[in-house]
Every structure is written in structure tokens, then in C-alpha cells.
Amino acid sequence: MERLELSQYFSEIYEKGEVPRFKVFIDGKWTLTKNRAPLISPATGKKIAEISVADSDDADRAIESANRSKEKIRDMAAIDRIELINTCRKELSQHMDEVSEVLSLEAGKASRSARGEINAVIERMRLAMEDSRKIIGEYLPGDWASDTSQKIALVIREPIGVVLGITPFNYSVFTSMAKVIPALLSGNSVIIKPPSADPIAFLMCTEVLRKTGVPEGTLQVITGSGGAISGKLVESEKINMISFTGSTAVGKKIAQDSGLKKLHMELGGKGTAIVLEDADLDSAAAECVRGSLELAGQRCDAISRILVVNGIADKFVELLSKHISDYKFGNPIEDTSVTMGPLINEESAKRVDDMVHDAIRKGAKLVAGGTRNGNYYAPTILKDVPLNAVIANEETFGPVITVIRVKDKEEARTVANASPFGLDSAVFTQNFYSAWWLMKSLQVGNVTLNAAPSHGTAYFPFGGVKDSGQGKEGVGYSIEEMMVIKTIILNLAPKELGKKYSGKFKDFV
């Protein structure tokens, strides 16, 4: 697909013109906003669409609609909510090819990556039943304490109200749907602000939800510049929770402006892989290449640096050089066999290039790559990277394999834990005790043994510590984040149904 053309099924979400003009979804209706912005394909460099740019008034309408409609989803039986998600799953499966082709074009993703993302969304919906098992409560008998001996309590989970989801470009569909699914399933209405760079595939998913019966007004999707509308949404007292995935800097700004709302934040990372002497080096190298280059490194769970023990560093770099050829680099629209395409825009590619050349100036050696053509950045290997290089410390978000030498596992732990980030790490060793020592002592939310980190369908929970965020995302865990606990206390004393405290044994305590 070189030109963006959608089937009749999705005709409501855009107006035809020289290029399609996409709408926002507010109060159950698709509408064009007063202003629009061009959408440029990272792969072709051509304008493929125009995206509606919502303003403050549009944000107000979305907030009002979400609040006015929240009882519709709250009052639905849980089984109906589950069946809604399952119906949407089946319908989306019928349009998987078209949605993934659009995602590839608008985000510059390799066909395999785009299809994998939509497949992950479908699988996430299938796992909605697992989510529902977390919507449970507890019965607490009060006679375990003297002051509540004739009372009982029910501890129940209820919807938090209106959830705002703000999502990034790298997994624009999966991350957005991974906020929509638990929000609706737990009985909340939800507003999604998808990324401006590649929102169309998610707009298509929104249409699938609309056609399969999501209650009118319980899902709002507004596109456009984050600066123009995010502040209005973040500060609104009618928003009860914010689930944000993106940079640490933006996350801190949201936390500063959001007041007392509940926050879930998945922020930046500096995924560190530690390779010890007894690791299966060929397997470790293949995993490190995959962890560094998948989606051109534009992943929060990417391997952003590799700490390799001195004695095996040279051999390991040779193996990295061998496995870098596992990735075919190029234009994924012209060649569907390409497995690594461009970065999202030229600004991102220039940032990566600056980091690479900063490392070289400070003593790192360029082994492969290091070239840029527009927003295409070649798969790159840097070895002997000093710790004072920018790329050794900041999130790369680009296809650079950064190798840093360390003396032993103790130094590796020290270097890893010095980072302000704490999202993902990986350890490569065949020694159980070394693995356990490192995995227990690394200050991260997730650590993987003998494989690259990968959040996948989020069946395993993930979430960071330190500057990488707060809260957990994943099947079952996301839904807990989007609910509040209420304690209902029943006094049984009037009918003498409770167990009365006698006090006759208190002297023996």
C-alpha cells in the first residue's frame, strides 16, 4: 500500500479528497475539526492523509460526553462488557490485513512488525476474560478485632470513572487498545489521545468498537497536537485517572499538572543487558541484536546498552556483527521482506546520529552502520563506549547496539543501577546463582534471563521504577489500576447476628 485507501467499512472515519481527511470521535460521532495537519509517511516521505487537530472546545466536548455517558458502561453487566470486547476481537480479525497495512504505511513499520502489533491487540482482547477475574472482592469477618466484633465488611472494586489515555507513536494501536480494553471492561468511560504521528490504524479500531456496540459516549478519541489539548484534559477535574505512556519529561509534567488524579505512568527506559563469561554467547548476541533493532530500537523495552565482561567482549562483538545481518534494512513499503524500516521522523534520526558521533568523539569505536539518510538510520554497532558518552546513559530510541566493557558482574550491577531509569533489563548467564544475584539486585521493574525484554501482549505485568514510571500494566494488572476499592461495613448488632466480644480472655494476652 503506497497510497492510503480504505475499504467501505471504514468510510465514516474520514472524508475523501486529494488525500483522506480523518475525523475525531466525540460523543459517539465522527466529525471533522476546524483545523487539520498533514500526516507524512516515514517510509515514503509523502503526505498520505490529513489528521483532525482538536482544540480546547473539542476537548471540553469529549470530557462532557465521557462524564455524561459513564453510567452506560458502569451499569452494563460484566458479562456483557466481556462479550462486547470479544465481539470486537472477532470483527477486528476480519480487517487485520487492512489495518496492518495502514499501520505499516503511517508508522514506517516493517510488515511483520505491523501485523504482529495488530495480532497482539487481538490476543489482548482474547485475554480479557483473564482481566475480568481481577474484578473481585473480599468478605472480612469483624470478630478478629474487639472493636468490630459484631460487624462484617465487604471490600469491593468499582470503576474509577473517566480514564484518560495518552499514547506514543511506537505502538500506537496496541498501547491505545491496551488502555481502552481494561477501561471499558472495568466499567469506565475512556478518552484516548493517540499520537499525532500515526493515529489512523487506531481510528480504524475505534470504528470497529463503534460498529460492534460500544455504548455511545463511553469512548472518545481526539487527535492533534498534544500541547493544544493535553493540558485541558490533564487538568480537568472531571478526569479521574490518567494512564500515560511516553517520555519521562512529559510524564513529570503531567504529574505536576494533574492534581490528585490517580496516575499510571510507563515512561522512558535504558534497557541494560548484562552478558557474563559463562553465557551462551551466540544466543545472547542474537537476542541482543533483536532487542536493540526491533522496530528500529524505538521501544521502551529495547536493549539500549550491553554491559559485557572484558574477557568475552571482543568475541561477543564479532557475534553481534554476524547477527546484525539477520535484519534486512530498507523501505518496508517498497519491499515487504524488510524487517527494519525508518525512524518516525528526521528529527529522531538526527538525534540518534548526534549520540553516535558524541560516543565516537569520546573514544567509542564504530563497528557497523553509523550512517543516516533522512529518517533512515542504518543498524549500528558501537564498541568500547565510555560511560561519559550520552548514548551510555540516555534512552537511545534508535537502532544502535551500544557495547560497554565491565570488569565483572559487580561492576555491571553498579553501572546498571546508576541509571535514573528502571524499566527493563536482561541477564545472560548459565550460572543460576549469578543470575539470581543480579536479577534480585537490579533496580528495575522487569528483568529477563537469557532473552531480550519484550512486553508482547502484556500477559506478564510490566512497569518501571525510578524515572521509568509507576504502576503496572498487563493482563489483570491494568484493570486493577483502573478501579477503586470501596469498603462496605455492615453492623449486625441490632439483630444479634454478629459474634459478640466477651473480653474474658484479654488478661491472658
Choices 3.40.605.10, 3.40.50.970, 3.40.50.300, 3.20.20.60: CATH for 56-134+159-267+471-485: 3.40.605.10
As a whole number of angstroms, the distance between CA 18 and CA 176 comes to: 28
φ/ψ of 292, rounded to 5, equals -90, -35
Confidence of residue 466 (pLDDT cuts 50, 70, 90): very high
Q: Where are the domains of the chain?
A: 56-134+159-267+471-485, 272-461
Residue by residue, DSSP assigns 362-379 as TT-EEEE---EETTEE--
- At 135, the pLDDT band (50, 70, 90 cuts) reads confident
> H or E stretch including 71?
helix 56-74
Rounded distance between C-alpha atoms, residue 140 and residue 293, angstroms: 51
Q: Quick one: pLDDT at residue 1?
A: 61
* pLDDT of 310 strictly over 60: yes
Q: How far is CA 299 from the centre of its chain?
A: 9
How crowded is residue 155: how many other Cβ atoms within 10 Å of its Cβ? 14
Phi, psi of 455 (to 5 degrees): -80, -25
CA 373 from centroid of its chain's CA atoms: 28
Mean pLDDT of 117-131: 93
Q: How far apart are CA 202 and CA 223, in angstroms?
A: 11
Q: For residue 36, how many C-alpha atoms fall within 13 Å in the half-sphere facing its CB?
A: 19
Give pTM, 2 decimals: 0.95
C-alpha dihedral, 157 to 479 to 268 to 344, nearest 10°: -140
Residues with catalytic roles:
266, 300
With contact defined as beta carbons under 8 Å apart, do 162 and 66 qualify? yes
Instruction: Report residue 135 as a C-alpha cell.
Output: 474484578
Question: With contact defined as beta carbons under 8 Å apart, do 281 and 347 qualify?
Answer: no
**449 touches 426 (CB < 8 A):** yes
The residue type found at 223 is: T
Residues 160 and 188 sit within 8 Å (Cβ to Cβ) = yes
Task: Give the pLDDT confidence of 24-64 residue by residue, as tens digits.
Answer: 999 999 999 999 999 999 999 999 999 999 999 999 999 99
Using the predicted structure, report yes or no on whether residue 507 has a pLDDT greater than 90.
no
Place of cell 487492512: 98
Overall average pLDDT of the 207-235 stretch: 93
The dihedrals phi and psi of 87, each to the nearest 5 degrees, come to -65, -40
Query: What is the CATH code of the structural domain delimited by 272-461?
Result: 3.40.309.10
Q: Which of 424, 421, 378, 429 is nearest to 399 (CA)?
A: 378
First to last CA, the chain: 77
Q: What is the dihedral of CA 431, 303, 365, 274, to 10 degrees?
A: -20
C-alpha cell at 286: 542474537
Query: Across residues 279-286, what is the average pLDDT?
Result: 98
pLDDT digits (tens, 9 = 90+) for 139-185: 999 999 999 999 999 999 999 999 999 999 999 999 999 999 999 99
Q: Considering the chain, what is the average pLDDT of its residues? A: 96
In whole angstroms, give the CA distance from residue 448 to residue 20.
Answer: 43
C-beta of residue 216 within 8 angstroms of C-beta of residue 72: yes
Residue 279 has a CB neighbour count (10 Å cut-off) of 24
> What is the arithmetic mean of pLDDT over 446-459?
96
Residue 508 is predicted with a pLDDT of 56
96-107 and 111-126 helices, crossing angle to 10° = 130
Closest CA to 130 of 476, 489, 471: 476
